């Protein structure tokens, strides 16, 4: 199915809903306050990412979709930061600026790998009549040319019942699919949508409580799908996978692979974004749901709200059978995860290479590197980087395949693909305690050695396996081929 992902590029999708800005404060706790029986939290770093409907849009943009975001934000600092993130992600910003309505923010304080507290700054309430009319006017103007619409309802007031009904009706009359991430118990406002994507708890709340069996859940999902005149209803169930109920056809149960779960924040945003992109790109609903299921498995393995990229989605599908999906990171998320490890006292080791046709020499290097600390991060040269370093015909395996193979190794805790010729930027950002290379290097020739030693780290050179190299393997294959 991964060969169909290229069709996601350029697919035109409109996202409407409650936008948010997610702040993270990365902290450590070393003592109890003398003023009160509470921990003293020392802030080590602060980051911010798009949240709510804005995170849905970020997921679409990461997949290469042409993404437009409609909603409302405040005329405040958080709103300006949110707008900056939208520009950086390549998302077309059509947000209304409401001077008397603050931008919704969620600040999560994390220490020792746990969330200590979440601080919400928001004003919940429907938009004024004038603002709602302006929003719908923009919606009508933006709809032509869109392959799908996503209504991302977080219950903050942007998607009132009347506005939902008008938007669904307007799109339906023009044969544009509308997918809804629902909120609350009043789902009548989503009637005639193409699909809604509740999680299991949300569906049970609408049904009046949890059922006694899996069959009860399925029966309830079918009942809601029929009562609301939906074409599809996708129930997300975390580790238990998904259930897709269809107007035409039997329900489909989509199993989830076992995942290491760090954070479920934003997983629903990823599901609806990937589902919409898949359907808009021509995938069947069941195949689009399976791709979304794999994508959800990727984001729950990251710390914090995370928008998936096309590279990560391709890796996710390749790793769905292996179960190592959570180990592959982009640079921003790698920094976030390494910071979290460091707060927990982990010793981070870094090594890098092309790792084209993994051989015994690579394995011995990685196993030796892993023994130098508690977490091993592998920097992997991208395809473009390998081509510049190794010449025509290299790499033999694509970067997604090389990353998948590395992630399957027990001794590897993280893989980060980089496009530069050297990993210097990776090292600067991740600040490993140990930098490992093969003994064919001298210490002063190892890229990044000055940085690592400057912050108190060390460079370790490990012995190489004699005669082991990708070049030798290629020569042997060519020699054997010529004999036949």
CB atoms within 10 A of CB 189: 22
Catalytic residue among 18, 22, 153, 269: 269
Q: How many CB atoms lie under 10 A from the CB of residue 165?
A: 16
Beta bridge partners of 180: 151, 196
Crossing angle, helix 53-62 and helix 77-89, to 10 degrees? 20
Alpha carbons 287 and 279: distance in angstroms, whole number: 9
Residue 191 CB: number of other CB atoms within 10 A? 14
Where do we find the tokens 């020792």?
112
CB-based contact 102:131 (threshold 8 Å):
no
Residue pair 349/314 in contact (Cβ under 8 Å)? The answer is no
Coil, strand or helix at 321: coil
Q: What is the length of the chain?
A: 484
What is the largest distance, in Å, between two alpha-carbon atoms of the chain?
A: 82
Strand order in the sheet with 12-17: 92-93, 66-70, 12-17, 148-152, 177-181, 195-196, 232-236, 242-246, 252-254
In angstroms, the CA 427 to CA 350 distance is 8
CB 272, CB 56: distance < 8 Å: yes
User: 3-state DSSP call for residue 249?
Assistant: coil
State the CB neighbour count (10 A cutoff) for residue 16: 30
Say whether 269 is catalytic.
Answer: yes
> What DSSP letter does each residue of 120-146 carry, written as one string?
EE----PPPHHHHHHHHHHHHHH-TT-
Select from 56, 279, 13 the least CA-distant residue to 146. 13
Residue 105 tokens read as 């923010």
Helix (H/G/I), strand (E/B), else coil: 47: strand
Structure token digits, residue 252: 């489909």
CB atoms within 10 A of CB 166: 17
Q: Which residues are catalytic?
A: 269
């Amino acid at each position: 199915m991964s060969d169909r992902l290229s069709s996601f590029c350029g697919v035109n999708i409109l996202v409407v809903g409650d936008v948010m800005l997610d702040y993270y404060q990365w902290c450590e706790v070393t003592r109890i306050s003398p003023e009160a029986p509470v921990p003293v939290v020392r802030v080590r770093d602060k980051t911010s990412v798009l949240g709510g409907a804005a995170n849905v849009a970020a997921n679409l943009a990461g997949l290469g979709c042409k993404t437009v975001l409609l909603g409302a934000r405040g005329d405040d600092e958080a709103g300006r930061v949110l707008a900056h993130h939208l520009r950086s992600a390549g998302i077309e910003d059509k947000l209304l600026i409401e001077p008397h309505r603050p931008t919704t923010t969620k600040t999560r304080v994390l220490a020792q790998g746990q969330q200590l507290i979440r601080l919400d700054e928001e004003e919940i309430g429907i938009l004024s009549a004038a603002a709602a009319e302006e929003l719908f006017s923009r919606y009508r103007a933006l709809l032509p040319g869109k392959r799908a619409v996503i209504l991302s309802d977080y219950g903050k007031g942007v998607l009132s019942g009347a506005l939902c009904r008008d938007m669904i009706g307007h799109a339906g009359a023009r044969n544009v699919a509308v997918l809804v991430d629902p909120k609350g118990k009043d789902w009548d406002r989503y009637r005639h949508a193409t699909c809604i994507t509740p999680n299991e708890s949300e569906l049970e709340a609408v049904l009046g409580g949890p059922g006694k069996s899996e069959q009860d859940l399925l029966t309830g999902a079918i009942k809601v799908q029929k009562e609301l005149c939906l074409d599809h209803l996708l129930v997300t169930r975390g580790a238990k996978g998904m259930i897709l109920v269809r107007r035409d056809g039997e329900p489909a149960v989509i199993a989830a692979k076992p995942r290491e779960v760090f954070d479920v924040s934003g997983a629903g945003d990823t599901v609806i974004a990937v589902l919409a992109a898949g359907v808009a790109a021509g995938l069947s609903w069941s195949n689009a749901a399976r791709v979304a299921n794999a994508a959800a498995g990727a984001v729950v393995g990251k710390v914090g709200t995370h928008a998936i990229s096309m590279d990560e989605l391709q890796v996710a599908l390749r790793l769905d059978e292996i179960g190592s999906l959570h180990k592959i990171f982009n640079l921003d998320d790698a920094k976030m995860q390494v910071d979290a490890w460091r707060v927990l006292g982990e010793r981070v080791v870094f090594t890098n290479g092309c790792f084209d046709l993994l051989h015994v020499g690579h394995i011995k290097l990685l196993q030796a590197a892993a023994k130098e600390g508690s977490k091993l991060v592998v920097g992997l040269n991208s395809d473009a980087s390998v081509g510049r370093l190794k010449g025509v015909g290299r790499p033999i395996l694509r970067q997604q395949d090389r990353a998948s193979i590395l992630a399957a190794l027990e001794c590897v805790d993280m893989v980060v693909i980089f496009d530069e010729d050297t990993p210097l930027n990776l090292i600067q950002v991740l600040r490993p305690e140990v930098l490992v290379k093969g003994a064919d290097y001298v210490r002063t020739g190892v890229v990044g050695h000055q940085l690592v030693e400057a912050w108190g780290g060390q460079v370790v050179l490990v012995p190489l396996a004699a005669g082991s190299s990708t070049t030798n393997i290629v020569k042997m294959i060519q020699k054997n081929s010529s004999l036949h």
